[in-house]
Amino acid sequence: MEGRHFEGEHPMSDTPRARLRTWMCVVCGFLYHEADGLPEEGIAPGTSWEDVPGSWTCPDCGVSKDDFEMVELD
């Protein structure tokens, strides 16, 4: 039923944004922290990985976003 939500379920608009993540270049180890962004490259702090342009490349080794993996940092 549209508009009804059960305990433990949340409509998309009420769901808090997922925790900001970190992505690592598997070629050179460069880390992209969503919380920090890359302001020097025009990527604002808080920019999710999905919102980083597809044409963006690793600033250290030049590979594409396809060569990055999400990593868990303590």
pLDDT in the model for residue 72? 87
Average model confidence (pLDDT) across the chain:
83
- Picking from 71, 29, 28, the residue whose alpha carbon sits closest to that of residue 49 is 71
Spatial separation of the C-alpha atoms in residues 64 and 39, rounded to whole Å? 18
Residue 57 DSSP label = B
Handedness of CA 42, 40, 48, 53 (dihedral sign): positive
pLDDT of 25 > 60? The answer is: yes
Rounded to two decimals, what is the model's pTM?
0.73
SS3 18: coil
